[in-house]
Chain A
Amino acid sequence: MKLTTPLTDASVEKLHAGDTVEITGTIYVARDAAHKQMVDALDRGEKLPVDLTGQIVYYMGPSPTKPGQVIGSAGPTTSGRMDAYAPRLMEIGLKGMIGKGLRAAPVKDAIKKHKAVYFAATGGAAALISQRIKKAQVMAYEDLGAEALQKLEVEDFPVIVVNDIFGGDAYEDGKKKYAKK
């Protein structure tokens, strides 16, 4: 199905684990170091450099942009490393996360509690994914290089719903279906 950003409770309620989704609109990019800086800022009582209310964060650190390109290769990184920070961002209104790999129980609980969603993009399909990114702009933490906070404009960005607000988990479902003794 097609999905446009920003997300609302109503748009998240329609998503179920295993759904394939194409996202169009603005998404933000942050990985380990940018997450640490954002959560440190919240701990100090400061505002974030961007308003994440209703937004999606993509866990990604691109390869360098060549002259004439929008962005370099841009596939997802392992989401588990952001588990320590994700519930805090959902508390302040983050609605979606894109990455790859397993999430910890507190993240799945926060997804249910705050009506958010965790999507997976295909790890290692970075050159292909990059073709769906139409604009890229560094918003903060420029000194972090590939780990800077960025804003992207995407068109039909391909993802699959892994964790939904109903407690569904596409990784668990898939494994159960295809496991053999």
Chain B
Amino acid sequence: MREIQANQITETLARLAVEANHYLGDDVVAALKHAREIEESPAGRDVLDQLLKNVEIAKQGTFPLCQDTGVAVVVVELGQEVHVVGGDLFQAIHEGVKQGYTGGFLRKSMVGQPFSERKNTKDNTPAMIHTDIVPGDKIKLTIMPKGGGCENMSALAMLTPSAGRKGVIDFIVNTIDKAGSNPCPPTIVGVGIGGSSDQAMWLAKKSLLRPLGEWNPDSETAALEKELLEKINNLGIGPMGLGGRTTALAVHVLTTPCHIASMPVGVNVQCHSARYKEAVL
């Protein structure tokens, strides 16, 4: 067993939280630049120019990309040969988020009891942790600060198998149409198809971690992604909903087997400030 200190996990996450909120990934910047090149709408071009200028200001490290520095979604790929010592893994993650958000002047956007008291936890904890046990002796930590505006546009449909491929497309395109300008387009549309209700929603979110510019390795799923992207961009919603060619930068689909009676479809929308950073310990 390889030993990894809990405080190393804490320090890494604190650093990643600050980095993710100031440095937009090269893949996302390239996608925004491409969108700017092909945009026909003057208002849309103006929005994209503002976003590209915003990226330049944020990367100086003083102002976060967005005031909504998000809920801290943390994805852990834990090698089964790893033994975490000197503390509890999940506590180490929450502590890292707390240190990153507090020390890094990031907004604290979590409330405790959600349906009446709604009192801010004041350190952006708890993190929302997803854990996969994988072969090997390393830990991969990914932080995805997820804003509330785009997360609120999520949707789930428990379609019947008779709805077929067309039913899947109609549900997804309709979800993005209804969301309009709310989730800060151009967005990345994450889709999970199959599994159970919870698995479909998780796959939808997990798909957002795929770098922009890559399609699903399965050719039939990639064809579905391309068709969805074209249909979504034909809606005309455009950058920040003011009309234009680019409503989504990409559509990412992940699939998993499901029950003979079911066809769950989950949609998780990511705004153009698609922030994530990862580290391997």
A contact residues vs B (CB 8 Å cutoff): 18, 20, 33, 60-66, 69, 72-75, 77-78, 80, 100-102, 120, 122-128, 130-131, 144-146, 158, 160, 170-171, 173-181
Contact = CB atoms under 8 A, between A and B. Distances in A.
Contacts of A181: 234
A39 B51 CA distance: 34
A122 B64 contact: no
Contacts of B43: 18, 20, 160, 170, 174
B80 to A, nearest CB: 38
A174 B41 contact: yes
Contacts of A174: 41, 43, 236-238, 241-244
A74 B54 CA distance: 12
B244 A101 contact: no
B256 interface: no
A127 B58 contact: yes
Chain B contact residues, majority secondary structure: loop
A33 B118 CA distance: 9
A61 B243 contact: no
Nearest to B68: A77
How many interface residues does chain B have, given as a range? 35 or more
B51 A125 contact: yes
Given A75-B66, A127-B57, A175-B243, A180 B107 contact: no
A130 B241 CA distance: 22
A101 B273 CA distance: 16
A128 B120 contact: no
A72 B50 contact: no
A64 B105 contact: yes
A31 to B, nearest CB: 10
- Most chain B Cβ neighbours within 10 Å, of A101, A120, A131, A180: A101
Contacts of A144: 120
A103 B194 CA distance: 34
Nearest to B47: A122
Given A62-B107, A73-B64, A77-B68, A122 B122 contact: no
A125 B240 CA distance: 11
Contact of A170 (B40, B235, B242): B242
Contact of A66 (B40, B62, B152, B243): B62
B181 interface: yes
Nearest to B55: A127
B50 A122 contact: yes
Contact of A72 (B105, B235, B236, B244): B105
A126 B66 contact: yes
Nearest to A176: B236
A73 B58 CA distance: 9
B50 A128 contact: yes
